[in-house]
Structure 1
C-alpha cells in the first residue's frame, strides 16, 4: 500500500461520506455473487437447515464478503485511483478515508466470523475467516502486485462461498463442496482476463502484473481458451456427480458450447481486429461469463429441489 492513505484521509474530510458510500465500500456486486453461490451450496447440501438459521448464516457470509471488499479498497486505493474502472470508488474519490475503510473491514470481519460460528458451526466460521484472510492478505496484499498468476491463485477467495454454505448445513467439507469450489476457481481466470482484454491499459498504468501486461494479449487469449476448455470438462463432469443430474447436464451442454465458441472467437482475434470493433467480443464474453456461473449454480439448485420433491426426469438418475 502506498502513502496515499493520509492524503485520502484529508480529502475525505472535505466531503462527508453518505450511507451509499459505505455500502459501496462493501462491493455489493461481488457480495451478491457471494450470497448467491453460498446459498446454492447451502441449498444443495443433503442436510436440511432451518430457514432462520439459513438466513442468518447467509447474512453473516455476506457481511464477511463485504468486509473483504472494504479491506481490498483500503489497501488498493493507490491502484484504484489510476484505473478508470475504479477511480470513483469511495476511498480513491476521497469520500471515505483509507483508515475508515480499514476499520470497517476489520470490524465486519470479526463480527461476521463470530456470528457465523455462533449461529452455524465453528467449521463454517473458520472457513469464512480463512476466506477473508485469503482475499485481503494473500490476494490483495501479495499476489495482485507480485505475479501474473494473481487471478489464477487468488480466484480461490471467490470460490469458497458455496463450500461455506455446504459446511453450514453439514459441518464438514466433501467432494461435492470441492466440485462447486472448483467450478468457480476455474471460471475466474477467463472471466477476469476477458475484462483485462478490453480494459486496455488500466492495469499497466496501475502497475498490476495482469497477464495482459506481462505476457501480452495474444497469450492471454490463448490462456482464456485453455481455461475455458478445462472449465467445460469440469462442468460436464459435475453433471454425473451426486449433485448433478439431467437438468444440470442440459444446462452445462448449452452453456459450455457457447462459452467455448466465445473463447475460440477471442483466440482467433488479433489486436487490430479487437481494437477496430471496440473489443465488443471481449465485452460480450465477459458478460456471458456472469450468466454462465449464475445458471450453473441455478441448475444445481434445481437438481436439489427436484430430488427433494422426489421427481425423476431420467430413469436411473
Structure 2
C-alpha cells in the first residue's frame, strides 16, 4: 500500500527555488556581458531581435547553472557556502533540476538559432556543454586549473552576443573573451583564500588546497599582470575609445596593486584580520569586470576613436 506520508515528505519547491537553480547572480553577469557584446558590434540589430537574443542566452546560462547544481549536489551539501541551495536543502529534487536544465538548454539553443543565427546558437550549445560537462563533471574535481580552463565558459557570452549581431567572431569579441577569461582566476582564487576549508572539506582541488595559499597569492598577482594588457588592447580596437581607456587604466592599476598586496600578505596577519585585504580584492574584482563592460557600453554610445 502506498504511504500517503511519503507524498508529504517529498520536497515541493517554490518558484523562487527553481529560479535559484538558474544561479541568477551568475546569470546577471552572463546577460550583461552578452548584451554589451551584441550592442557594441558594428551591426544594427532590431531591438526585438536583440532582446530575444539576450533572453535566450540568459536561459542558456540558467540551464548551465541548473545542470551544475544537479551534478554538484553532493559537494554542495558539504560546503557552507552552498548548503542552502535548493537541492542540498531539500527544497527541490535533483531530478527536477536535471529536467529543468535539459529543457532550458534545448529551448534556448533552438530559439536563439531561429531568432538570431545558427552560428550563435551553436556557440551557445557549446558553452552549455563546456560548463555542464567539461568544467562541472571533469575539470572541477580533477585539476587545480579547474578555474583557469573552466573560466572559458563564463567568458563566451560576450562572444555569443557579438555573434548574434555579426554571425561571426572578430578580434574585438576575442579580446572581450580574454578580459573575462583572465579575470576569472584571480577573482575566484581571492575568494578561495578565505573560503579554503569549504573546498578542502568537499574535496575540490582548488589551488589553495593542492598547492597552498602562498602559491595562490603568487598566481593572483601574476594573472593581474597578464590581464592588464588584454584590457588595454581592447581599448585601441574599434569598440574602444578614450573613456574606456581611462577606465581600464585606473581599474587595472588598482587590480595590480590589490594583487601585489595579496602577494605580500603574511598568512598569520591575514588570519588575524579575517582576510580583510583578500576580501577587499575580491570585492574589487566584481567592480572590475562590471565597470569595464559598462565603459564599453557607454563608449559605444558616445563613439570611439
TM-score bracket for the superposition, by shorter chain length? over 0.9
Residue deviations 1:166-199 (CA, integer Å, cap 9, x gap): 0000011111110100100000000000110011
Residue deviations 1:127-185 (CA, integer Å, cap 9, x gap): 00000000000000000000000000000000000000000000111111101001000
1:228 counterpart (207, 219, 224)? 224
2:189 counterpart (169, 173, 193)? 193
- Superposed, 1:27-106 pairs within 5 Å as 27-106=23-102
Deviation at 1:270, TM superposition (A): 1.9
Q: Establish whether residue 290 from structure 1 lines up as the match of residue 286 from structure 2.
A: yes
Cα distance in 2 between the residues matched to 1:13 and 1:145: 32
Structure 2: runs of 5 or more not aligned: 1-5
Deviation at 1:200, TM superposition (A): 2.6
- TM superposition score normalised by structure 2: 0.96
Structure 1: runs of 5 or more not aligned: 1-9
Residue deviations 1:47-72 (CA, integer Å, cap 9, x gap): 01000000001100000000000000
The corresponding residue for 2:21 is 25
Deviation at 1:12, TM superposition (A): 9.7
Cα distance in 2 between the residues matched to 1:240 and 1:57: 27
- Superposed, 1:1-317 pairs within 5 Å as 13-307=9-303, 317=305
Cα distance in 2 between the residues matched to 1:13 and 1:82: 22
The alignment of Structure 1 onto Structure 2 pairs a total of residues equal to 300
The corresponding residue for 2:3 is none
- TM superposition score normalised by structure 1: 0.93
SS in structure 2 opposite 1:296? helix
Deviation at 1:90, TM superposition (A): 0.3
Q: Is the 8 A contact 1:40 1:301 kept in 2?
A: yes
Q: Is the 8 A contact 1:113 1:126 kept in 2?
A: yes
Q: Is the 8 A contact 2:196 2:209 kept in 1?
A: no
Deviation at 1:236, TM superposition (A): 1.4
Note closer, same or farther for the CA distance 1:194–1:12 as it changes in structure 2 (3 Å cut): farther
Cα distance in 1 between the residues matched to 2:113 and 2:265: 49
Q: Is the 8 A contact 1:11 1:95 kept in 2?
A: no
